[in-house]
Chain A
């Protein structure tokens, strides 16, 4: 955002001001709790949107901030989903530690992959992440004894949260649970992108050659951010398992990797809120359109994607920010 800044503000104060919470952000999170009050029929959908939004947020961390293009991010989502599901099936259905299990399994695999990822950019990176997703998906498919294969994982039972809140049929608990977990990870990501580390990630995105010329630790930074993003994607997958009590191969599919990328681009890459907003628009639109005319669903999403990329280079969030900037300037 290019706010008109008074020249007399000190450099530290200037940078502090940039990271400050804006009113529109508070409005956004207040809006996130309104479905509970006004759209009780849609709480199930709202929970799914939050989970997908968290997944998209984890992609934004690597793509929007570090410039790492991944077409295989579902690998980590699915790993988290299966890890938590398998633990639950074998008798450990405690939800909070379940999230940790999902996050850790995805994070460990992400850490391993990050050594390869750190050495490539561009098209090669797209192929590597795509390949990684295929490997994981195929492994899950062939290890039917562990994952249930094409039938999906059955027998997942999630215990009540803290022994108090049972997951209900209407998705009320699931919604609040997804909202709180997503919000907490959002806070973490928000802090990260406003940290010195986040600044270095943006440096890698903007010009990785110049980063080397100022002695930056590009590879170490990429390994760190890729591992954290994998962890968060795994937590999102774990959330899906816990709230739906089933896991299918779809969680690992290329389709899911591609969808999350589309959502992020719609919402806005590198805008922090792009993943959440993109997931909201995409999933509400899918819900509405597929009632009317399921075959044409991808036609509309394709049209929307082209329109956004052509007219809103920073996605819908970027467009809104720009509009807000214009109005703000006129107001003062």
Chain B
């Protein structure tokens, strides 16, 4: 079976700094794969490269077998490759219901309609509301996004991505800034998402990574140091040295 997403020999440098050095990996359909690595390792950059927000200097990215290396980001999204952001990137003055409905309407091609009232798109609105319910933020969905609690905004990040009906979801530190006791719950919600959905997530909290990932990639200095099952990663000396050993993150 073809991989949901594959990268082959991805390279990227910012000036003399190599942020992606010959990165290759494959994500089988439905996998929960974690990407770990110290600050500045190039994790966010890798997501930017995969989604087309940055162009690689070389290499090839395939989405379900199709070469998307030179495709603009919004077209990759429409083909099912969707990301969230490490730093909230939301619509501050829209409420969550509007924001998610907007994403649903864009997907359904209803966003070009300028002569119908939004409320006539009942199906899209209900779908948006269901997504908000599944992420447990439906009760605040009539409030402006900028008024929401930080944790609720993190969930809205994911809700927006889900509204596009992704095949591959790239989560950039979904629990960043969320208190440790709440991040477990957030990952339980993520883990409950459809098994057909392939999830690639960046996370610093090793407890969470070991609990939810079926496979782990370790990125150090822009290069993939290692990949393996949680047990293999936990046992690896090099990982202990470069990452677990000096784990400065909470």
Query: Is A181 part of the binding interface, using a Cβ–Cβ cutoff of 8 Å?
Result: no
Query: Is A218 part of the binding interface, using a Cβ–Cβ cutoff of 8 Å?
Result: yes
Produce 1/0 per residue, B119-152, CB < 8 A to A: 1011011101100000000010111100000000
Contact, CB under 8 Å: B89 / A215 = no
Contact, CB under 8 Å: B142 / A5 = yes
Residue of A nearest to B130 (CB): A11
Q: How far is the CB of A215 from chain B (nearest CB, A)?
A: 3
A203 partner, pick from B77, B85, B94, B164, beta carbons under 8 A:
B94
Which A residues touch B160, using CB under 8 A? 210, 213-214
Query: Is B112 part of the binding interface, using a Cβ–Cβ cutoff of 8 Å?
Result: yes
Query: Is A33 part of the binding interface, using a Cβ–Cβ cutoff of 8 Å?
Result: no
Interface hub of A11, A12, A195, A197 (most chain B Cβ within 10 A): A11
Which A residues touch B142, using CB under 8 A? 5, 14
Interface hub of B72, B102, B113, B144 (most chain A Cβ within 10 A): B102
B83 partner, pick from A5, A15, A213, beta carbons under 8 A:
A213
Which B residues touch A213, using CB under 8 A? 51, 53, 73-74, 77, 82-83, 85, 89, 160-161
Residue of A nearest to B157 (CB): A210
Contact, CB under 8 Å: A202 / B105 = no
Q: Tell me how many residues of B have a C-beta within 8 Å of chain A.
A: 52
Contact, CB under 8 Å: B92 / A196 = no
Query: Is B99 part of the binding interface, using a Cβ–Cβ cutoff of 8 Å?
Result: yes
Contact, CB under 8 Å: A16 / B117 = yes
Q: Tell me how many residues of A have a C-beta within 8 Å of chain B.
A: 36
Query: Is B8 part of the binding interface, using a Cβ–Cβ cutoff of 8 Å?
Result: no
Which B residues touch A288, using CB under 8 A? none
Cα(A195)–Cα(B114), bound, Å:
5
B74 partner, pick from A12, A15, A206, A217, beta carbons under 8 A:
A217
Which A residues touch B97, using CB under 8 A? 11, 14-15
Query: Is B62 part of the binding interface, using a Cβ–Cβ cutoff of 8 Å?
Result: no
Which B residues touch A220, using CB under 8 A? 112
Produce 1/0 per residue, A1-28, CB < 8 A to B: 0100101000111111001000000000
Residue of B nearest to A216 (CB): B106
Which A residues touch B94, using CB under 8 A? 199, 202-203, 206
Which A residues touch B78, using CB under 8 A? 215
Interface hub of A15, A206, A215 (most chain B Cβ within 10 A): A215
Residue of A nearest to B75 (CB): A215
Contact, CB under 8 Å: A203 / B119 = no
Q: How far is the CB of A325 from chain B (nearest CB, A)?
A: 13
Query: Is B194 part of the binding interface, using a Cβ–Cβ cutoff of 8 Å?
Result: no
Which B residues touch A194, using CB under 8 A? 117-118
Cα(A195)–Cα(B98), bound, Å:
11
Query: Is B11 part of the binding interface, using a Cβ–Cβ cutoff of 8 Å?
Result: no
Query: Is A98 part of the binding interface, using a Cβ–Cβ cutoff of 8 Å?
Result: no
Contact, CB under 8 Å: B77 / A215 = yes
Query: Is A192 part of the binding interface, using a Cβ–Cβ cutoff of 8 Å?
Result: yes
Contact, CB under 8 Å: A2 / B144 = yes
B102 partner, pick from A11, A13, A200, A228, beta carbons under 8 A:
A200
Q: How far is the CB of A102 from chain B (nearest CB, A)?
A: 21
Which A residues touch B105, using CB under 8 A? 196, 199-200
Which A residues touch B139, using CB under 8 A? 7
Query: Is A212 part of the binding interface, using a Cβ–Cβ cutoff of 8 Å?
Result: yes
Which A residues touch B85, using CB under 8 A? 210, 213
- Given A7-B139, A195-B114, A210-B160, A200:B106 Cβ within 8 A: yes
Which A residues touch B144, using CB under 8 A? 2
Q: List 8 A-B contacts (CB under 8 A).
A: A2-B143, A2-B144, A16-B119, A199-B102, A202-B91, A202-B102, A215-B103, A217-B74
Residues of A within 8 A of B (CB): 2, 5, 7, 11-16, 19, 191-192, 194-200, 202-203, 206-207, 209-210, 212-218, 220-221, 224, 228
Other A-B contacts than A196-B101, A214-B77, 11 sampled, CB-CB below 8 A, are: A11-B97, A12-B119, A13-B119, A199-B105, A200-B102, A206-B94, A207-B89, A207-B90, A212-B53, A213-B74, A218-B74
Q: Which 7 A-B pairs have the closest CB atoms?
A: A215-B77, A16-B119, A197-B114, A206-B91, A11-B129, A200-B111, A214-B103
